[in-house]
Amino acid sequence: MKFNDFPIGIFDSGLGGLTVLKEIRKILPFEDLIYFGDTARVPYGNKSKETIIKYSSEILGFLTGIGVKIVVVACNTSSSLALEYLKDKADVPVFGVIEPGAKKAVRVSSGGNIAVIGTSATIKSRAYSAAIYKEIASLESDKSRLFGAAFKITEKACPLFVPLVEEGFADEEITKGVINHYLSSLFTEKPSCLVLGCTHYPILKDSISAQIGKNTEIIDSGVETAGAVKDYLERNGMLKTGTKKGCESFFVSDDVEKFKELGGKFLGRPIENVVLAEGIK
* 91 and 135 together in one domain: no
CATH number of the domain that residue 197 is part of: 3.40.50.1860
Domain end point (choices 201, 221, 241): 221
Q: Are residues 79 and 156 in the same domain?
A: no
Q: Write down the pLDDT at residue 281.
A: 66
Domain count, the chain: 2
SS3 of the chain: the string is CCHHHCCEEEEECCCCCHHHHHHHHHHCCCCCEEEEECCCCCCCCCCCHHHHHHHHHHHHHHHHHHCCCEEEECCHHHHHHCHHHHHHHCCCCEECCHHHHHHHHHHHHCCCEEEEEECHHHHHHCHHHHHHHHHHHHHHCCHHHCCHHHCEEEEEECCCHHHHHHCCCCCCHHHHHHHHHHHHHHHCCCCCEEEEECCCHHHHHHHHHHHHCCCCEEEEHHHHHHHHHHHHHHHCCCCCCCCCCCCEEEEECCCHHHHHHHHHHHHCCCCCCEEECCCCC
In which domain, by residue range, is 143 found? 98-221
User: Does the pTM of the predicted model rise above 0.85?
Assistant: yes
pLDDT tens over the chain, length 281 residues: 788 899 999 999 989 999 999 999 999 999 999 999 999 998 887 889 999 999 999 999 999 999 999 999 999 989 999 999 999 999 999 999 999 999 999 988 876 789 999 988 889 899 999 999 888 888 766 544 545 456 789 999 999 998 888 788 888 999 999 999 999 888 777 888 999 999 999 999 999 998 888 889 999 999 999 999 999 999 999 999 888 999 999 999 999 999 999 899 889 899 988 999 987 76
In this structure, the answer to whether residues 111 and 212 fall within a common structural domain is yes
pLDDT at 150: 66
Q: Could you tell me if residue 269 is inside a domain?
A: yes
Same domain flag for 12 and 92: yes
The verdict on 114 and 194 lying in the same domain is yes
Q: Catalytic annotation on 193? A: no
75 in active site: yes
What local confidence, expressed as pLDDT, does residue 146 receive?
Answer: 44
Domain presence at residue 281: no
